[in-house]
Structure formats: structure tokens, C-alpha cells
């Protein structure tokens, strides 16, 4: 009975307040206590003053009583009514919200949706099925996991939407609610759908209207023109002009001829997407121009876009053209901001027999070296004989100009060792002629120049640190250029038409100074570099190659001596033979082998030799030999003329030439590397790249 009375009393009580509202009601109590104390003090001082103060206190108590017992319930009732009305307004606003909104559970089942959501989905408010029945893209795997909101972009009923989902935990939902059990794993997902159709349309329109600059250069204009009689030359030039203009005319492009073999085209990005779709068919179409010319015409195309203004787009196009020509021509390079895409480049590049460029580069090298005191020369990691031979040629040039030069080389392969040993212990060569990569930074000062040979990728150089600490950087390479080439070089001579870096340096030797003297074993090293990179003058050996070899022969290079030093030892010969005997052929055209380098001094060299030998098998268009060495998988790729292995290796982060290329792979086995190459070839065949 007693407990029942307590319960009835509790039920008759007004709602208890807290927080700022409670403080608001308590302040009159605190003021009343202060008045009582002040009244007592006034009686102590003066009875009349005390009576006046007591009268005031009685009036205050009456007012306070009325406030607490008569007006307070009315105030609380008004607050509750406002709260209820506010909640109803919020619910109505949410229901009438123009943005589609719904609540779903953890499995995607719809709990509630507002009117806008009902309208666009054409569902009634009692729809309780999974949201994936309406939008298949909204499976449980795209729902947010934690507190962070998640966005999903989808198309529904021909409109584009950005769906934003936010997980609401049960703690927030059931706070102060005692009728439902609260479990930590329980939650619901609030889902908003923002229509972005118009936004996407305007973004695409802005993208389509972007300014694009295209540069079109004829790679072999002079060479092709020489084989045509005078009567047909004007017709030949007119046909080329017609093909170039016809190709860009559908895109409302402005095409102008800058020089006899150079064009510029200006058009919108919308047309560029069509050019990308047909993979710049002009590259193949121009080759059909035949009116007596013995040599097939090829083009280099550089496309630039993504710049902040017209002038910058032109600069981007020029950079793309430099890259296209640095890779041997007969291809298009698209540079969109930092993104670079390559098209074409399938054919063997034609050798240019002009010496003007070599003479200009040699003169520039001489001028740069006049301002330096020390020169550090380095090639690529695991230097081969071409890297060593070209480094030796630069050493000869530096010595002729009176500069202190050092060759940075760490790992001495079996092919390089016989040539390197001939320089050790000779009086005319200093003890620090060869430096390890750890020693090289100590030789750097304000006047030091770094010359990089046979490589143009920073991470593949013998000591990448030197490129960061030296101001003067010079690059000489014969590999086709890639997007991650060495930047900031004061002189860069990349000639993909050259057979080897040793050939390039041998040509430059003849123009740096007249009467340059080369010792016999120096000439041997450079001759060996040319010999190896041309596979015994059987691959990429043009007139310039034989002229360079003849120059070295005149200065003491001995063919027999070089051949003896390049011979294999028995262990390497057996390993190469074993790899070739176990080779498999993929798609009747691509030979694959794994080179086991156990007991071999330089497994990567053996792998390259095995790749060369596999090309002697009838029907093999390209060979790929995989070698595991020092926790890295080295891939040697070779072909004769039908397959551009450089394009294949570029897909895997490597590079090289059309017929000689390679790459390095990490975190995989030799078998996995073979599978990766096969998948890459399969994809490139489907895309028509090879």
C-alpha cells in the first residue's frame, strides 16, 4: 500500500528538469536564501530596516511560490508541446525532403523511405525488400563499415546519382529508450541520393571543350624524298599534306604546316577521344603513301593537353614529341598532365646516317667539361660490356681534356671482368679509376659532373644518389626513352637509332678533339660493347655501326682478342644449354625459359645469352628468359623483327629496344614471372598492340 502511494505520487509529479533549465529554476531559491541572510543582518543593525527588509522578503516569497507552484507546470507543459510539435515538423520535413532518403538495416532491407524516394523508385511506403532489388549496385559489400560515410556513384532510371551512406549505431537510436534491448552490433544505415546528372553533364562538356595541341613530324622526310624523282616530289609532298589534313578535319581542327616536315593541329578534347579510340590510325595510313619512294614514311605525333593555358599545352605537346622521337619515332605520345600514353611504335626504327647531331653534342660536351674539375661516370646496375665500354670512352674523352675522371661500378659481371682487369695495376691509370657506389659521393664537390651512359632511368643507375647531389648531369643512352627518364640533365643525348652506347661514344670521340689517341685495350672495351649489343653485328648494325667499329679497329681493337675475352666458361655454357633445352613455346611463337644460375658468376648475362640462342629456333618470333638473382627476377627479352619486345617489357616496368629489352620484377618467383609475361602478351594481342 505504501509503495502504491509512492508510485502514484511519482506519476503525479511534473517532469524533472536538468541542465540549463534546472539552473534557471534554482536561481530564485539561491536569491531567497541570500535575502533571508540579509534580513537577519538588517535586524541586527536596525529594527526598522529589518522590518522593511522582512516585508520585501515576504513579497518575494509569495512571488516565488506562485512561480514555482502555479506557473512552472504551465511552462513545462509549453516546453513539452513545443518539443512534440518540433519533432512532428522534423518528421514532416524529412518526409517531404526533396532529396531521396531512406533507412536500411545491416543486410540492406528497407525500413523506411521518404516520399521523394518512393517517387523515384516507384515503390510504396510499405516496401520492405532489400535495396538491391531496386539498385543492384547496392550490395552489402558496399555498405559503410565504421562511422565514416561512404559514397557510391551509380546510374538509376537514366539519371546519375551519388549515394551517400552513413551508419547510425544503436546507441544513438535507443538513448533513454527502455523498451528495446540495445546491442552494440545493432545499427541502421541512413542513405541519401544526390542527383548529379546535370553536374556530370557540365563536367563532361567542359572536358570535351578542353584545348588540345598536336604536333606531327615526319621522321624520315629527307631520306624518303631522295629516292623520288623530281617530277613526283611535289605530288609526294601533296599526298602527305592531304593525309594529315584529312585525318584531323572531322574534328574541326586547325591544321597548319610549320616546316616542310612538321605540322601543328589544334582541336578539342572531344575529338582526341576518337583519335585514342582508333589508336591514331594515321601512323599506319601514312605508310601507304607510295609513289616511287623506296623508304616507307613514318610519323611521330606529340599530343599535349591538361595545361592551365594554351601556351602550356603547347609546351606539353613539345615534351610529348621529344618523348616520341626519343623512343625511335613511328608512334604517338599523349601527355595529359602527368599521365602519358603511348600508341604505335611497332616497327623497327630507321637509322639516320647524319653526323650533324653527333658533332653538336660532342661540342656541347666539351664546353660543359671545361667548367668542371672532376667527372664521375656510371652506367646501369649489373653493368654489361656496353655500359663498361661506353664509360671507358667517356673516360678517354675526359682524360684528353685534362679532367679527373672516375668510373662508378659495383658488381663486376663475368663479361666485364676480363676487360676491367686490364686496367688494374697500370701506371697510366690511377688506383681510384674505379669506385664503388659507396665511395662515389665523397668525390662530389661544386664542380663535379656526373655522366650517365647506357641508361636513362634514375633508379637503374649504378648510384642514384649522385643524381640528387650533383648539379651537372649529362646523359648518353641508346635505349628508347620512357616517361621516368632522368630529369634536369644539362645535356641529354638519347639516340634510339644507335646500336649501342659504345657506338655513340665512339662517334663523339672523333669530334671532341682532333687526333684523339686511344689505347688498344680501351678500343677493345668499346668494340666489345658494340659487338655484344649487335649480337655479333647481326642485329641493328647499320653503316654508322661499321664505321665506328672500323675507327676502333684502326686504333688497335683486335677482333680475336675481344672474342677470346667474351667466351663462356664451362659452367655458364652448360647452364645456357640447359635453359635452352628446357624452353617451352607459347602460342607457337614465343619461347620461354628459366635460367638456373647455380654456379654461374653472372646469371643475368647467361640469361641474356640463352634468350639470344632461342631466336635461332625456327618459328620463334620472340624469346623471354627469366633469371632469379639477388632476390630479384631479371627478364631478358629478344626478337628479330616481327615483335616489339620493348612494348612488352614497358608493360612490366622495363624497356629497351624493339629487338632487345628487359625488366626487373620483385616479390615473385620465376614461374610467376613467366605467367605474368604470358598474360601481358595475351592482353596485348587482344588489344592489337603486338
In a domain, 7, yes or no: no
Is the pLDDT assigned to residue 293 strictly greater than 50? yes
What's the average model confidence in pLDDT over 543-570?
Answer: 85
User: Pairing state of beta strands 404-408 and 374-378?
Assistant: parallel
Are residues 469 and 441 in contact, defined by beta-carbon separation less than 8 angstroms? yes
Q: 425 and 547: one domain?
A: yes
What is the CATH number for 153?
Answer: 3.30.450.20
Q: 199 and 215: one domain?
A: no
Is the pLDDT assigned to residue 216 strictly greater than 80? yes
- Residue 394 CA to residue 401 CA, distance in Å, equals 11
Q: 147 and 254: one domain?
A: no
Question: Helix %, strand %, coil % for the chain, to 5?
Answer: 45, 20, 35
**Range with the largest mean pLDDT of 62-76, 320-334, 447-461:** 447-461
- In the chain, the number of structural domains is 5
Q: 49 and 153: one domain?
A: no
Segment 327-363, tens digit of pLDDT = 777 888 898 877 888 887 765 555 555 567 788 888 8
Segment 572-585, tens digit of pLDDT = 888 888 888 888 99
DSSP string across 487-554? -S-SEEEE-TTSS-HHHHHHHHHHHHSTT----HHHHHHHHHHHHHHTTTTTSS--HHHHHHHHHHHH
Specify whether the backbone of 419 is left (phi greater than 0), alpha (psi in -120 to 50) or beta: alpha
Choose the final residue of a domain: 35, 66, 95.
Answer: 95
What's the average model confidence in pLDDT over 251-268?
Answer: 89
What is the CATH number for 262?
Answer: 3.30.70.270
Task: Give residue 263's pLDDT band: very low, low, confident or very high (50, 70, 90).
Answer: very high
- Residue 373 CA to residue 401 CA, distance in Å, equals 10
What is the rounded average pLDDT for all residues in the chain? Answer: 81
Task: Give residue 285's pLDDT band: very low, low, confident or very high (50, 70, 90).
Answer: confident
In a domain, 1, yes or no: no
Segment 493-521, tens digit of pLDDT = 888 778 888 998 998 888 887 777 888 88
Q: 561 and 425: one domain?
A: yes
Give residues with Cβ within 8 angstroms of 630, minimum separation 6. none
**Range with the largest mean pLDDT of 61-75, 123-137, 544-558:** 544-558
In a domain, 215, yes or no: yes
**289: containing domain:** 209-344
Q: 84 and 199: one domain?
A: no
Q: 471 and 527: one domain?
A: yes
Q: Is the dihedral of CA 285, 287, 293, 299 positive or negative?
A: positive
Closest CA to 132 of 144, 121, 118: 121
Q: Within 10 A of 578 (CB to CB), how many other CB atoms are there?
A: 14
- Residue 494 CA to residue 474 CA, distance in Å, equals 11
Choose the final residue of a domain: 279, 309, 344.
Answer: 344
What is the CATH number for 462?
Answer: 3.90.1640.10
Choose the final residue of a domain: 141, 173, 204.
Answer: 204
Q: 387 and 527: one domain?
A: yes
- Residue 398 CA to residue 448 CA, distance in Å, equals 12
Q: 531 and 394: one domain?
A: yes
In a domain, 11, yes or no: no
**How far is C-alpha 33 from the chain's CA centre?**
76
- Residue 316 CA to residue 294 CA, distance in Å, equals 34
Say whether pTM exceeds 0.85: no
Segment 424-442, tens digit of pLDDT = 888 888 888 898 888 888 8
Are residues 127 and 119 in contact, defined by beta-carbon separation less than 8 angstroms? no
- Residue 383 CA to residue 376 CA, distance in Å, equals 15
In a domain, 68, yes or no: yes
In a domain, 349, yes or no: no
Q: 677 and 531: one domain?
A: no
Q: 365 and 388: one domain?
A: yes
Q: How far is CA 593 from CA 150, 596, 606, 636, 644, in A?
A: 47, 10, 12, 10, 19
What is the CATH number for 608?
Answer: 3.10.310.30
In a domain, 469, yes or no: yes
In a domain, 489, yes or no: yes
Q: 378 and 527: one domain?
A: yes
Is the pLDDT assigned to residue 534 strictly greater than 70? yes
Is the pLDDT assigned to residue 373 strictly greater than 90? no
Amino acid at each position: 500500500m505504501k509503495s502504491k502511494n509512492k508510485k502514484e505520487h511519482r506519476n503525479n509529479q511534473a517532469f524533472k528538469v536538468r541542465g540549463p533549465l534546472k539552473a534557471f529554476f534554482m536561481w530564485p531559491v539561491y536569491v531567497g536564501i541570500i535575502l533571508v541572510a540579509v534580513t537577519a543582518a538588517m535586524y541586527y543593525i536596525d529594527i526598522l530596516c529589518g522590518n522593511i527588509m522582512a516585508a520585501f522578503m515576504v513579497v518575494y516569497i509569495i512571488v516565488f511560490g506562485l512561480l514555482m507552484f502555479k506557473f512552472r507546470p504551465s511552462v513545462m507543459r509549453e516546453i513539452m508541446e513545443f518539443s512534440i510539435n518540433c519533432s512532428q515538423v522534423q518528421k514532416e520535413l524529412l518526409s517531404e525532403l526533396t532529396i531521396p532518403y531512406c533507412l536500411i538495416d545491416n543486410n540492406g532491407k528497407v525500413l523506411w523511405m521518404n516520399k521523394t524516394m518512393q517517387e523515384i523508385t516507384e515503390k510504396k511506403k510499405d516496401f520492405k525488400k532489400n535495396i538491391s532489388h531496386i539498385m543492384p549496385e547496392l550490395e552489402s559489400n558496399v555498405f559503410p563499415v565504421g562511422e565514416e560515410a561512404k559514397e557510391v556513384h551509380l546510374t538509376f532510371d537514366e539519371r546519375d546519382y551519388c549515394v551517400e551512406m552513413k551508419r547510425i549505431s544503436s546507441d544513438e537510436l535507443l538513448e533513454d529508450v527502455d523498451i528495446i534491448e540495445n546491442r552494440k552490433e545493432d545499427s541502421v544505415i541512413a542513405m541519401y541520393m544526390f542527383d548529379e546528372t546535370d553536374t556530370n553533364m557540365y563536367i563532361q562538356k567542359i572536358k570535351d571543350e578542353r584545348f588540345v595541341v598536336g604536333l606531327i613530324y615526319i621522321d624520315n622526310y629527307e631520306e624518303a624524298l631522295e629516292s623520288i624523282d623530281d617530277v613526283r616530289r611535289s605530288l609526294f609532298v601533296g599526298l602527305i599534306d592531304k593525309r594529315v589534313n584529312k585525318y584531323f578535319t572531322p574534328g574541326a581542327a586547325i591544321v597548319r604546316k610549320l616546316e616542310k616536315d612538321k605540322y601543328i593541329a589544334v582541336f578539342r578534347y572531344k575529338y582526341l577521344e576518337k583519335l585514342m579510340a582508333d589508336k591514331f590510325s594515321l601512323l599506319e595510313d601514312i605508310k601507304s603513301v607510295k609513289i616511287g619512294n623506296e623508304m616507307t614514311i613514318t610519323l611521330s605525333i606529340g599530343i599535349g593537353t591538361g595545361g592551365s593555358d594554351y601556351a602550356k599545352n603547347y609546351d606539353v605537346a613539345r615534351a610529348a614529341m621529344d618523348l616520341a622521337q626519343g623512343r625511335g619515332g613511328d608512334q604517338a605520345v599523349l601527355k595529359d598532365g602527368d599521365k602519358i600514353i603511348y600508341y604505335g611504335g611497332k616497327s623497327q626504327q630507321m637509322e639516320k646516317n647524319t653526323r650533324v647531331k653527333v658533332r653538336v653534342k660532342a661540342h656541347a660536351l666539351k664546353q660543359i667539361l671545361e667548367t668542371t674539375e672532376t667527372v664521375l661516370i656510371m652506367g646501369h646496375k649489373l653493368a654489361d660490356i656496353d655500359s663498361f665500354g661506353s664509360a671507358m670512352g667517356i673516360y678517354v674523352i675526359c682524360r684528353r681534356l685534362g679532367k679527373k675522371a672516375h668510373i662508378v661500378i659495383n658488381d663486376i659481371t663475368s663479361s666485364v671482368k676480363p676487360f676491367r682487369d686490364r686496367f688494374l695495376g697500370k701506371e697510366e691509370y690511377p688506383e681510384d679509376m674505379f669506385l664503388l657506389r659507396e665511395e662515389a659521393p665523397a668525390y662530389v664537390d661544386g664542380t663535379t659532373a656526373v655522366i650517365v651512359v647506357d641508361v636513362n632511368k634514375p633508379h637503374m643507375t649504378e648510384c642514384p644518389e649522385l643524381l640528387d647531389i650533383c648539379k651537372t648531369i649529362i646523359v648518353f643512352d641508346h635505349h628508347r626513352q620512357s616517361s621516368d627518364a632522368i630529369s634536369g640533365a644539362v645535356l641529354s643525348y638519347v639516340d634510339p637509332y644507335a646500336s649501342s652506347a659504345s657506338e655513340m661514344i665512339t662517334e663523339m670521340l672523333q669530334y671532341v678533339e682532333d687526333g684523339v689517341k686511344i689505347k688498344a685495350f680501351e678500343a677493345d672495351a668499346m668494340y666489345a660493347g658494340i659487338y655484344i649489343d649487335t649480337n655479333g653485328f647481326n642485329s641493328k648494325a647499320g653503316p654508322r655501326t661499321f664505321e665506328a667499329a672500323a675507327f676502333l679497329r684502326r686504333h688497335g681493337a683486335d677482333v680475336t682478342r675481344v672474342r677470346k675475352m667474351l667466351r663462356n666458361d664451362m659452367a655458364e655454357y652448360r647452364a645456357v644449354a640447359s635453359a635452352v633445352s628446357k624452353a617451352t613455346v607459347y602460342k607457337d611463337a614465343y619461347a620461354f625459359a628459366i635460367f638456373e644460375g647455380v654456379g654461374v658468376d653472372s646469371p643475368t648475362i647467361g640469361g641474356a645469352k640463352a634468350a639470344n640462342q632461342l631466336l635461332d629456333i625456327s618459328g620463334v618470333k620472340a624469346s623471354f628468359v627469366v633469371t632469379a638473382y639477388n632476390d630479384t627476377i631479371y627478364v631478358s627479352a629478344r626478337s628479330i623483327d616481327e615483335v616489339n619486345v620493348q612494348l612488352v617489357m614497358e608493360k612490366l616496368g622495363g624497356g629497351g629496344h624493339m629487338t632487345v629489352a628487359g625488366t626487373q620484377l620483385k616479390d615473385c618467383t620465376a614461374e610467376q614471372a613467366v605467367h605474368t609475361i604470358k598474360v601481358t602478351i595475351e592482353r596485348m594481342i587482344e588489344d592489337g598492340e603486338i
